[in-house]
Chain A
Amino acid sequence: MKEMETFQYYQTDNELDLYICKNKKFKTNLIQMIILCQLNEEDASSNALIPFILYRGSKNYPSSRAFKIELEELYGAELSVSVWKRGEIQLLNFSLEIVNEKYLPTDELLLEKGLALLKDLLLNPLFTEEFFQQEKEFIIKEIKSIINDKYSYSLNRCFQEMCAGEPFSIYKLGRIEDHEKLSRDQVFQQYQEVIKNNRILFFVIGDVDEKRVYEKINNSFNFRHQVVKDYNNTIIINDVKGIKELEERLNVQQGKIVLGFRTGITRKDDLYYPLLMYNGILGAFPHSKLFQNVREKESLAYYASSSLESTKGLLLITAGIDFANYDKTRDIILKELEKMRQGDFTEEEFQWTMKSLINSFESTADNNRGLLAHYLLGVINHKTETIKDSIDELGKVKKEDIIRVGEKLQLDTIYFLNKKVTE
């Protein structure tokens, strides 16, 4: 195996956390700045608006168009802002990817110019009433538009019902009714607050000079900042009181069944790698039980798979099926889960899954955003790991550990997206 990518940690004088991964294989430099916020009802909506309002204009770039012009001048640098949710953490992302000038007919220091733009966006925003009003309208429309994609919609609805009353049920962009009540000043105040007190991460991945990048960020992002707020208070629930089964009807051609489980296992737990193996044998790959039994044997679905939320400790199974096959599909899925609980899987299934997971970790190391996502999950769960650490941990998993995962797993909610009955 080749030498695997590692991140070097630096802290700036004003407590920004900087992780640099120096690496020759990428033709671009990726810089991602992430503000970590606790996900809660009071702040979720105003937090979510912040990145979008900042991207509307700053002192040196007074409009979105001014930003876009400068980005094109930097050979089509890509700046995107987004909001993520991992466990009960809301992450405000500012991601900038710039081609390394080594591969361009120019001597311009593109990375430095990119950092200057990012700094202006973050620290010198115009934050006008007009920008606020427009972005509020857009974000409300964006929240409503989840329904346009029935796959994401069904997953989101299952999470929402399953975790009703927990912060996790809040959508990453907040709630429409809260947005409607917000004022520009409230959001601006929230912006000042998170910039000053929240944990802020910087990731840099590319063929860079680490020392210079550190100094550049330390010198130019030298605003008043001190971490006083904790960001990860995710509540992990282990025990489930009764299975919720619910159905919703829309104008659709395909039914979508989603089963939500509590694993009680997060990234930092000893059972995390056994859980990855469990999920792999059950439903992450084409050789997995769900694909083989729901799709290949019974022709019930095109997709049938399972996935993990490893900060909140959830597992989700989903399949797109004919409306009439709901009971049949659910029963097959439950039968496969029972097999998992009893350790009824072969040495081959175990080995194939192990190899497939290693392949997927090693491939992740070849993708700058994948690499970042992997390391970020470790950071926010207080257990930083390189790709190599993950592969080593995975190699220690035994069959008994996977059975223990099966014993902990509890079905919480079954959601079914059904068609509307025509009168």
Chain B
Amino acid sequence: MQKIYNDIIKERIYLKKLANGLTVMLMPRANYNKFYGIFATDYGSIDNKFVNPETNEVVKVPDGIAHFLEHKLFESEEGDVFSKFARLGASANAFTNYNMTAYLFTTSSNFTEATMSLLDFVQDPYFTDENVEKEKGIIAQEIRMYDDEANYQVYANLLNGLYHHHPVKIDIAGTVESISKISKEDLYLCYNTFYNPGNMILFLTGDFNPVEILEKIEENQYRKELVNYNNIKRIYPEEPASIREKVIVNKMDVSEPLFRLGIKEKNLPEKGKELLKQELGTGLLLDLLIGKSSILYQDLYDQGLIDDYFSNYYVLEKGYGYVIMGGKTRDPELLYKKLLDGFKIGGRTLKKEDFNRAYKRVLGEYVQSFNSFEAVATEFISYYFKDISFFDILDIIEEIDLDYLNKRYVELFQENNYVRSVIEKI
């Protein structure tokens, strides 16, 4: 078992890749009552086209299937999985995003049993025609709920404007129509392709003995006969560097217009440290240009164009990336114009003192994130899927300087990369 200690955070992580391919990460935390476990697969909503490992044929599966599968794994032959956790005093949950699907529990007792239950239910699918049908009504209501969430819609529309073909433009849950076509055979195909141990990580954190729990995990894993497809082939469409649509406007029952500005990333590092450096550097650049302590932010606030909820962030994944910023505003077009002007001025005069301050903020927020088991676990897993250790962030950030930010500014802040999405009042 590999041990890595971080002397800033003063925490240690234990890593082991088991013989069956499963990656196990353990982070003991003294003084905590709570245990948290998360079991994740490198499989999200964008993985909708791939090679069937048994037949070698290319298959395209219905939109929303990764999320549908997440719901259905909570069904077992003996009944629903929630009650198994409730019996232990644990609570279970799951989520699906564009890039991964994760199953998790929190508990303050019966930690070992809860960990075994997590491994067992995810590794024992039970799909029937009847239980698949039953889920369609439930997920249809989940989709309808998002249909009414204006802040989600303005974001979904933006992605649709940024991308021509990339599946990140498709809603994670799919549509009521696309999920109606899902069958138990489709679910087994996706399950068998992506839920093999070599494609998965188990992350546990809480006050436990790592050697003892690892023993139990190995015992559990080696008891099972799990098939491992070492070579998962995902197929993504060719995505042009250009944006698809400049402006997308929709109408809903809202109090005032909602606005998002998106910038499409053309520079897409494969994986690893380059990717992390670009992610951190671009985040710092955004801070300098439109962060809460920027002159532009204060100006827009004083003009009543943005409120305190205006926010920005940068996403960089394998194969796609974008900047997104926005909030509600009285005048989307004026805000757009002022942002553009502001970037031009700000981008020309990136200052060292602002950079140093933004760096301090990133450092502080990084330390603070270790207060949350959920945040730490999710970060470690999603970075691991990109071949990065979350502990490496502090080293990589040292490599970033103002020149790098200037270079990033020139690459990214070009008007032909911009898309704006607006929800107007009906």
Write the chain B residue with the least CB distance to A140.
B255
Chain A residues positioned under 8 Å from B364 (CB to CB): 74-77, 99, 104
- Please name the 5 residue pairs, one residue from A and one from B, whose CB atoms are nearest each other, closest first: A75-B364, A299-B137, A355-B89, A76-B364, A76-B361
Selected A-B contacts with CB under 8 Å, 29 pairs: A23-B31, A24-B31, A25-B31, A28-B371, A68-B292, A72-B358, A74-B364, A75-B360, A99-B364, A104-B363, A138-B304, A141-B256, A144-B255, A144-B256, A148-B151, A150-B148, A150-B149, A250-B253, A251-B252, A287-B82, A300-B137, A302-B145, A322-B144, A352-B86, A355-B86, A355-B87, A358-B108, A363-B33, A366-B33
Of A150, A321, A355, the residue contacting B141 (CB under 8 A) is A321
**Is B126 on the interface with A (CB-CB < 8 A)?**
no
Known A72-B358, A302-B142: A252·B293 in contact at CB below 8 Å: no
Contact (Cβ within 8 A) A64 B301: yes
Write the chain A residue with the least CB distance to B32.
A366
In angstroms, Cα B83 to Cα A351, docked, is: 11
Of B87, B108, B138, B307, the residue contacting A138 (CB under 8 A) is B307
Chain B residues positioned under 8 Å from A160 (CB to CB): none
Contact (Cβ within 8 A) B33 A76: no
Chain B residues positioned under 8 Å from A64 (CB to CB): 298, 301
Of B29, B83, B107, B307, the residue contacting A25 (CB under 8 A) is B29
Instruction: List residues of A (91-146) whose CB comes within 8 Å of B's CBs.
Output: 97, 99, 102-105, 134, 137-138, 141-142, 144-146
Contact (Cβ within 8 A) A148 B258: yes
* Residues of A bordering B, CB below 8 Å: 1-2, 4, 23-28, 63-65, 68-69, 71-77, 97, 99, 102-105, 134, 137-138, 141-142, 144-151, 250-254, 285-287, 291, 295-296, 299-303, 320-322, 348, 351-352, 355-356, 358-360, 362-363, 365-368
CB distance from A71 to the nearest CB of B (A): 8
Contact (Cβ within 8 A) A147 B254: yes
Of B86, B109, B368, the residue contacting A28 (CB under 8 A) is B368
Chain B residues positioned under 8 Å from A367 (CB to CB): 371-372
A-B contact count (CB 8 A): 192
Of A253, A303, A368, the residue contacting B147 (CB under 8 A) is A253
Of B106, B138, B294, B328, the residue contacting A295 (CB under 8 A) is B138
Chain A residues positioned under 8 Å from B87 (CB to CB): 348, 351-352, 355
**Is B136 on the interface with A (CB-CB < 8 A)?**
yes
Interface centre among B86, B307, B365 (most CB of A within 10 A): B86
Contact (Cβ within 8 A) A76 B363: yes
Contact (Cβ within 8 A) A103 B31: no
**Is B80 on the interface with A (CB-CB < 8 A)?**
yes
**Is B4 on the interface with A (CB-CB < 8 A)?**
no
**Is B385 on the interface with A (CB-CB < 8 A)?**
no
